[in-house]
A and B are shown apart, each in its own frame.
Chain A
Amino acid sequence: MNTESEVAEAVKAAKGPLIIKGGGTRSVGRPAQGDLLDVSGLSGVTLYEPGALTLVAKAGTPVAEIEAKLAEENQRLAFEPYDLTGLLGTSGATTIGGVIATNASGPRRIQAGAARDFALGVRFVDGAGNVVKNGGRVMKNVTGYDLVKLMSGSWGTLGVLTEVSLKVLPAVEASTTLVIADLAPAQAIAAMSAALGSPYEVSGAAWIDGAVWLRLEGFANSVDYRADALSTLLASHGEIVRSDNCDWTRVRDAVPLHDCAHVWRISVKPGDGPAVIAALPDGSHSMMDWGGGLIWAGRDAADASLHAQIQSTVAGLGGHATLIKAPETLRASVSVFQPESTGVASLSAALRARFDPRGILNAGLMAA
């Protein structure tokens, strides 16, 4: 399938459920049944204006291709989309449609914003085969309802993305990381909160392998200045070592948990990170990103009752836990995404019924 109209025809003609496939890197959610709708052929950057900080690409365009094009102009995708191939053991190339459809944002989410914040416009085919556009390619746009946000993070359950337009940002001249080793979760939160509550524009705050990493980016002089100022501010939290070699893709892609058979991605308010970690049974592995607001938790062994227990802990705190990695049998038997309140669940179900009246797009992936 190479064009939007082919996608529309295929959806219109579908006799049963469809599984939308871009790069095929995200074996996440309740396993869906149906015919494969392969949109990886809708590929290519169709417009790039570096002076306007905007780029438009067909949904099946590999992220790597977009990042290479941006690098030529010294720009980047500021929300730092993660790559799940290592964690999930999948192959294939992460596509921009998959990134937007799943609102996949990395460490810089706390400073720059999420994938949904950088999506300026979308084109998609709804469940009845209608082509819909929303938003555009300009940075400020409040013309009508914001379906761009609604499509971001809908995992293909409202429509098949065919094109996205993105806000991009300048790449930076310099980047450095301040490392504080051997901190327990609560100590890590204290250090990260102090850093994120400072004026020094921390663009990454993670707790990984027991150490806090704090990233500073920008012009070289400015990075040096802020590294010194932040080191002084955080002196009471431990010995601070400045490193220019920290590999932030380890945080972004949850590399320390790659060997775990079960992995949860949990969003809570940063201060609740330690409580989530404390509630995990012995033998669990965990790391935190987003200043403690994003917890990646992993285990070799897990069952439906542990999963329910984790989601219940998170529900009590306010937030959401997604079982991002687990064998199909477990994913088929549990609510992979956080169960929603009655009000939210009924609005979401009603929206799905309107956008996909036959219930054929990635049916049941997010909610049974």
Chain B
Amino acid sequence: MEMPIPDPDVLARKARVVSRLREVLPADAVIDDPAETRAYECDALTAYRCPPMVAVLPSTTAEVSEVLAICHAEGVPVVPRGSGTSLAGGALPTADCVILGVARMNDVLETDYDNRFVRVQTGRTNLSVTGAVESDGFFYAPDPSSQLACAIAGNIAMNSGGAHCLKYGVTTNNLMGVTLVQMDGTVVEIGGAHLDSGGLDLLGVICGSEGQLGVVTEATLRILHKPEGARPVLMGFDSAEIAGACVADIIKAGVLPVAIEFMDKMLIEVCEDFAKADYPMCEALLIVEVEGSEAEINDQLALITEIAKRHNPVALRESASAEESQRIWAGRKAAFSAIGRVSDYMCLDGTIPVSELPYVLRRIGEMSKEYGLPVGNVFHAGDGNMHPLICYDANKPGDLEICEEFGAEVLKLCVEVGGCLTGEHGVGIEKRDLMTYQYAPSDLEAQMAIKDVFDAKWLLNPAKVFPLSVSETRRKTAIAAE
């Protein structure tokens, strides 16, 4: 992976930058010992690593503001970091950067059930937002598989989704306001506990901007009352095509399950091994979950199983208990770590129109043979967000490169059939050089114009999102202009 050449002038000023940071932060919040900065050398995309120059762990918005103002004045790149769970390399450092970790900012600032929102510091983990309100019957809906570890800051940066977004939407649909610290240290409040913007929707463009427009330190999140109950049903089919047809029929019938998840045989086996959820062994498994009261669940499941039966399922089983439902979901959400136990893998995240599922799965199978690397598939079938997991051997020279090439071909295929490169993981460094397949130069220019407005010196999270071929010249021009 090509990364920009570290700025020797910045590296030469390391001692000065560190001492200025120490003036505004407690001693233990500035980490410059190379043995310790190594802890920040990568995120969950572990194939790429680079220790940062310095890492800082501020505890307040005011500290974040002071850190950014110093880095702005010194011309030091800043890479914001939530919990480091990005699968796209969204928090990969550069050698001349300051990593700004928000992990110490994890307080709940305000909980308002009458108005159905919670305001938190963004270092708080996704699951612990729900944890703070669930004893009163509420929850925060977006549920990325890494929800135990991932931070709200990262969720906002990547506009994270999850298994249940078919009904509840992704982060941007549940985010009401942010406190944004701009690169020059300016603090801006955007949105709040009210709905929608009275002017331009800045909140909408900040969400999903991959930490390149500012650092979000506080967030107002919509919370909802938990449904009375929920129950998944497992459906096994002889082929992905049949499962895909079943999904389309369910949606067309007017039922909107909260989740429709797909796993192929390879994933069923590794997830079963991991979670002991008693998944049926078959070519294609759907987990379909519905919510409501006991009677409502029964009604919806009756309709759904009737549709499924028309597609000759080889297995059809409703969860019989809360404990079983928990295991069914634990297996699905552990899919990435389960496959990680048996092989190195690269996880893709393209989204395609649901109607193209059978064709794309068939093509991926063919490519798997061409490239000689096995692929497992697990994904959100209701919204076409695929997660092909390409297995490779990190210790075998050349295998990673073959895997990258294979992955790129799959993502191009997603774009070709009317989809996109990434549905919920973000572009990061992983997909940045493929952006030209999805967007024309004028499309990228419009996006980079936004970057110019928010971060004129192009210091925030460098080398992500945009192809280096288009962004590096712009970044150098911005630096030279100062």
Contact = CB atoms under 8 A, between A and B. Distances in A.
B113 interface: yes
Contacts of A345: 199
A331 B354 CA distance: 46
Given A113-B169, A114-B196, A196-B116, 14 more contacts: A52-B353, A52-B355, A109-B196, A110-B195, A130-B442, A138-B419, A139-B351, A141-B423, A142-B426, A193-B114, A270-B115, A337-B199, A341-B189, A344-B188
11 contacts: A49-B355, A51-B249, A52-B384, A126-B446, A130-B445, A132-B445, A144-B443, A150-B204, A340-B198, A351-B449, A352-B200
B299 A222 contact: yes
A59 interface: no
A337 B201 CA distance: 13
A136 B351 CA distance: 10
Interface in B383-426: 383-385, 418-426
B113 A114 contact: no
Interface stretch (A13-21, A88-96, A239-247, A318-326): A318-326
A199 B228 contact: yes
A49 B189 CA distance: 39
A344 to B, nearest CB: 6
A199 B227 contact: yes
Nearest to A192: B114
A222 B193 contact: no
A52 B195 contact: no
B194 A269 contact: yes
A354 B188 contact: no
Contacts of A45: none
Interface stretch (A151-159, A206-214, A254-262): A151-159
Interface string A80-106: 000000000000000000000001010
B242 to A, nearest CB: 15
A136 B201 contact: no
A16 to B, nearest CB: 23
Contact of B200 (A73, A114, A150): A150
Contacts of B452: 354
A53 B296 CA distance: 23
B384 A271 contact: no
Contacts of B254: 74, 170-173
Interface stretch (B19-27, B275-283, B326-334, B433-441): B433-441
Contacts of A148: 204
Given A50-B252, A140-B385, A221-B296, A147 B447 contact: yes
A352 B256 CA distance: 39
A137 interface: yes
Contacts of A267: 194-196, 198
A330 interface: no
Q: Which of A148, A149, A150, A352 has the most CB of B within 10 A?
A: A149
Contacts of B227: 199
B334 to A, nearest CB: 21
Nearest to A56: B418
A121 B140 CA distance: 26
B196 A269 contact: no
Contact of B420 (A103, A138, A154, A340): A138
Contact of A347 (B112, B431, B454): B454
B225 A143 contact: no
Nearest to A170: B254
Nearest to A52: B354
A138 B169 contact: no
A290 interface: yes
Contacts of A226: 293
Contacts of B204: 116, 146, 148-150, 152
B200 A153 contact: yes
Interface of B: 112-117, 137-138, 158-159, 161, 165-166, 169-170, 172-173, 182, 186-190, 192-205, 207-209, 225-228, 248-249, 251-256, 292-293, 295-296, 299-300, 351-355, 380, 383-385, 418-427, 431, 435, 438-440, 442-447, 449-454, 465
B293 A197 contact: no
Contact of A221 (B182, B251, B295, B438): B295
Contacts of A117: 169, 172-173
Given A143-B435, A144-B465, A320-B194, A136 B418 contact: yes
Nearest to B203: A149
B351 A138 contact: yes
* Most-contacted residue by chain A among B196, B228, B300, B452 (CB, 10 A): B196
A310 to B, nearest CB: 13
Contact of A142 (B137, B158, B169): B158
- Lowest 3 CB-CB distances: which A-B pairs, in order? A149-B204, A320-B198, A343-B188
B148 to A, nearest CB: 21
A145 B351 contact: no
Contacts of B445: 130, 132
Nearest to A317: B194
B200 A140 contact: no
Contacts of B450: 145, 147, 150, 351, 354
A308 interface: no
Contact of B205 (A142, A146, A229): A146
A271 B116 CA distance: 10
Contacts of A153: 196-197, 199-201
A138 B423 contact: yes
A302 interface: no
B426 A145 contact: no
Contacts of B256: 169-170
A354 B418 contact: no
A338 interface: yes
Nearest to B194: A319
Given A49-B355, A149-B205, A320-B194, A140 B454 contact: no
A351 B439 CA distance: 20
Contact of B384 (A139, A340, A367): A139
A141 B420 contact: yes
Contact of A319 (B192, B354, B424, B442): B192
A54 interface: yes
A147 B198 CA distance: 17
